[in-house]
Amino acid sequence: MTDPETLADRVREGELRLHELEDHADYETAATARRLLIERETDASLETIGEYAFPAEQAEPNIENMIGAAQVPMGVVGPVPVDGGATSGEHYLPLATTEGALLASVNRGLSVIRSAGGAAARVTKNGMTRAPVFRVEGVAEAARTVEWVENNVDALREAAESTTSHGELLEVSPYVVGDSVYLRFAYDTKDAMGMNMATIATGEACEVVERETPASLVALSGNLCSDKKPAAINAIEGRGRSVTADVVIPGEVVEERLHTTADAIAEANTRKNLTGSAKAGSLGFNAHAANVVAAAFLATGQDEAQVVEAANAITTMDAREREDGTTDLYASVSLASLEVGTVGGGTSLPTQAEALEVLGLRGGGDPPGSNADALAEIIAVGALAGELSLLAALASRHLASAHEDLGR
């Protein structure tokens, strides 16, 4: 077995490339050799980066040119009280972040939600998308292509589903722009986030479209999907899971626990999250939903770049007057495109798998898709707690003092 020093020297001398080290040594030795090389080239110490608690080969499907692991502090909030369509009861939610005060704020919101009897949550839509773009001669050929697609969805479904034992093609939505035809395929990918599944399946279906229509495939992704980019289509049509969580907080709880009123929180939400966001041209109308989503993604092995779509959230806060004159607070958060899974991708890494075990959601659910739905519902309630806590802090003018108290 070649030792790390020799491998590092061979890369430095140009005999090997960084990505070829696993062809000459085991994964652990290859990672060590890369660290040695980088330390020599940069004078940096990679001692901490090289301290990780899993075999390097377990990360092989997830990364190339591995040198170690990034260690992000992980905490837990909860229990999160959820009355959902896929889960019910209380769950601890692991969150990984470097932002001090975030978990304390979410926990405060969850405590208030718990006092109100818990939050309801439902996945209202599910569909992972991939949208290839085709070239045609003009609008006449575009119309012929769209007509064929609309009349032959079953043929496309057969081709797409031949590539997967789990995914189901739900629909194909055509869009025409001049001599370009976009077909937005949407799939039920069960407990997988499903981006790779959707891509492979769509590639097979594209061969049928090219064979049966005048259209020629230009790119398997035409950005109408839309993956890892701010996009109104995801805010409107959804991508992955569309999930909403809501709760009614009694007025006395708002005053005692949040030190403000339902009317004040509702006004802050309207002027900040709705009017302010509209003036800014924002696609998301919320306070900081992406904060909780990002921390949950890092903890549970989701694709962190898809926090972009997860920020497509709308928060509503309304004051509701009871017959006795008391004013309660209705609070909700609706995430249009929360792309999560409990199998595949980073969910199989040991740390992230343990975090999913904390939630009781590691692996596939019974029925298929139920674990990913449950994860979406729990994250949505966590995001709702974060919205509630931050808006209350703003309405009571306690935001700055809270950060000062926590030394953040």
Active site residue 288: no
- 279 & 355 share domain: yes
**Helices 139-151 and 153-161: crossing angle, nearest 10°?**
70
Q: Is the peptide bond before 111 cis (omega within 30 degrees of 0)?
A: no
pLDDT at 325: 85
User: Could you tell me the pTM of the whole model?
Assistant: 0.94
Q: d(Cα 370, Cα 393) in Å, to the nearest integer? A: 35
Residue 134, H or E segment = strand 133-135
From its phi and psi, is residue 47 left (phi > 0), alpha (psi between -120 and 50) or beta?
alpha
- 214 & 244 share domain: no
**Considering only CA atoms, which of 176, 111, 141, 336 is closest in space to residue 244?**
336
pLDDT at 400: 41
- 39 & 154 share domain: no
228 domain-assigned: no
227 domain-assigned: no
Residue linked to tokens 């081709």: 159
Q: d(Cα 42, Cα 69) in Å, to the nearest integer? A: 18
- 148 & 191 share domain: yes
CATH code assigned at 358: 3.90.770.10
50 domain-assigned: yes
Catalytic residue among 39, 99, 212, 267: 99
- 105 & 252 share domain: yes
**DSSP letter assigned to residue 406:** T
- CB 121 within 8 Å of CB 377: yes
- 110 & 176 share domain: no
Active site residue 403: yes
Contacts of 85 (CB under 8 A, 6+ apart): 121, 122, 123, 373, 377
258 domain-assigned: yes
Residue 74, H or E segment = strand 74-84
Residue 85, H or E segment = none
Residue type at 272 in one-letter notation: K
Active site residue 210: no
Catalytic residue among 90, 188, 303, 318: 303
pLDDT at 311: 86
Residue 313, H or E segment = strand 313-321
- 273 & 352 share domain: yes
Catalytic residue among 24, 166, 398, 403: 403
CATH code assigned at 151: 3.30.70.420
pLDDT at 398: 60
Q: What is the pLDDT along the chain (408 residues), one digit of tens a residue?
A: 689 999 999 999 999 999 999 999 999 999 999 999 999 999 999 999 999 999 999 999 999 999 999 999 999 999 989 999 999 999 999 999 999 999 999 999 999 999 999 999 999 999 999 999 999 999 999 999 999 999 999 999 999 999 999 899 999 999 999 999 999 999 999 999 999 999 999 999 999 999 999 999 999 999 999 999 999 999 999 999 999 999 999 999 999 999 999 999 999 999 999 999 999 999 999 999 999 999 999 999 999 999 999 889 999 999 999 988 899 999 999 999 999 999 999 999 999 999 999 999 999 999 999 999 999 999 999 999 999 999 999 999 765 444 445 555
Contacts of 176 (CB under 8 A, 6+ apart): 139, 142, 143, 146, 182
Domain boundary among 219, 254, 272: 219
Q: How far is CA 86 from CA 26, 242, 383, in A?
A: 42, 13, 17
Domain count of the chain?
3
Q: d(Cα 184, Cα 222) in Å, to the nearest integer? A: 9
12 domain-assigned: no
- 187 & 103 share domain: no
Q: How far is CA 406 from CA 111, 268, 288, 338, in A?
A: 18, 24, 19, 30
39 domain-assigned: yes
- 119 & 143 share domain: no
- 183 & 322 share domain: no
16 domain-assigned: no
**Considering only CA atoms, which of 312, 291, 302, 356 is closest in space to residue 101?**
291
**DSSP letter assigned to residue 135:** E
Burial of 408 (0-12, 13-18, 19+ CB in 10 A): exposed
- 122 & 136 share domain: no
Print burial letters for 80-108: b (CB count within 10 Å at least 16), e (below 16): bbbbbbbbeeebebbbbbeeebbbbbbbb
Q: How far is CA 339 from CA 101, 307, 312, in A?
A: 25, 8, 11
Q: d(Cα 142, Cα 34) in Å, to the nearest integer? A: 51
- 254 & 291 share domain: yes
328 domain-assigned: yes
**Considering only CA atoms, which of 381, 309, 333, 394 is closest in space to residue 117?**
381
Residue linked to tokens 């696993």: 22
Domain that holds residue 344: 74-126+240-405
